[in-house]
Amino acid sequence: MTVTTEGIVLSTSESGEADLIARVLTETHGVQQLLFRGIRKSRRRSRSAAEPGMRSVFVFRMTGGGIPTVSECTPVDLHEEIRARYGRIIRMHFLLEAVLKTTGQAQPDSFLYKMLRGAIESLEKDTGSLSLPLFFVIRLLIHLGVFPAAPACSRCGASDTALSFYFEDHTLLCGGCALRKGNIRFESHEIAFLSTAARFRYAQMPPFLLSPAETAAMLEALVRFMEQSFRITLKSTKLLLSDEETG
């Protein structure tokens, strides 16, 4: 079966003398491992379309075994604004790695595709803060079903107070209901941020809900939860949190 679908390259690795193997989040067939035969030495085909973060239309043939070979690849958006700034490249690679390491092979998920596409498009205009990576992580955790979409105490329903989050059962508890210390404590204004992030698009988020220090601390804590839940390591996190470039 020949497949034609839009996709976003999540990662690439070299194979042999001239090939590339890419993990691509496709719009219609989930994450696919695709072979770009001879692209590293080709004078006719640009390697740019196979670089991480690039959005293209891919044509490949699904077979019973082996890695499908890309027969055509037409760039849709090479994200020049991102590639021109080191800080934006770091943030984009973080988004790509988060999706790659939490998403199974060949599981169609058009919502996830649209979410990643939208995040990368927003990154082209982003000011350089950690707000976008944090927003994306929150939405990704909710989509994966491991974080509550409506932040509130799991027992009494309180949502206008500080809440503690527990990794083992993915619950939030207020001070009155909690019997022990949680893994992450969210203050009331941080709960308001989580609730807003769950309901609105990134472009609709009110500014200055969290300070830069609070944004970094919440992002680091939620990444730690993601890593523990999926038994992964997001290697780009350290570089992301240490990057001080804006723009």
Q: Tens of pLDDT along 48-84?
A: 778 899 999 999 988 777 899 998 988 898 888 898 8
pLDDT at 66 (0 to 100): 83
- Give CA–CA dist 73/47, Å, rounded: 10
Gyration radius (Cα) of the chain, Å: 20
Long-range contacts of 149-155 (CB under 8 A, 24+ apart): 149/198, 150/195, 150/198, 151/186, 151/191, 151/194, 151/195, 151/198, 153/177
**Is a pLDDT exceeding 60 seen at residue 167?**
yes
For 101-135, how does the pLDDT look when each residue is reduced to its tens digit (9 = 90+)?
999 998 999 999 999 999 999 998 877 789 999 99
The contacts of residue 242 (CB under 8 Å, 6+ apart) are none
pLDDT at 45 (0 to 100): 65
Between 84 and 208, residue with greater pLDDT: 84
Q: List the alpha helices (DSSP H) in 56-178.
A: 80-83, 86-102, 110-123, 131-143
**Is a pLDDT exceeding 60 seen at residue 244?**
no
- Supply the pTM of this predicted model: 0.92
Quickly state the pLDDT bin for 46 (edges 50, 70, 90).
Answer: low
pLDDT at 169 (0 to 100): 94
CB-CB contact of 129 with 215 (8 Å): yes
